[in-house]
Amino acid sequence: MEYGDSGLSSFIILALMVVPSYVVISGFIISVLSLVISTFAVSVVFRAIVGGDFRAIVGGNFRLCRRWYAWTLPFR
């Protein structure tokens, strides 16, 4: 190794140490965000079912909605 090459080699070593940590951190952030989003979606569906707003899921079948509303009335 000649004089002046140490800067480039230290930069390469630093990049090899920093890039995987960024990949791990970004993967962790993405997994946490996806968990939060999926939990939010499940809670919205659960609240719609228990709250009697079943037409939001079945698409406006009012007979089924009335039955579902009567069935979920004790839970409110």
In the chain, where the domains are located: 6-75
Which pLDDT score, from 0 to 100, does residue 25 have?
Answer: 82
| H-only helix segments in 1-76 | 6-50, 55-58, 62-72
Higher pLDDT, 25 or 71: 25
55 half-sphere exposure, CB direction, 13 A CA radius: 9
Which pLDDT score, from 0 to 100, does residue 69 have?
Answer: 60
Per residue in 4-61, pLDDT tens? Answer: 556 667 777 777 777 777 777 888 888 888 888 777 777 777 776 666 655 555 555 5
The reported pTM is 0.39
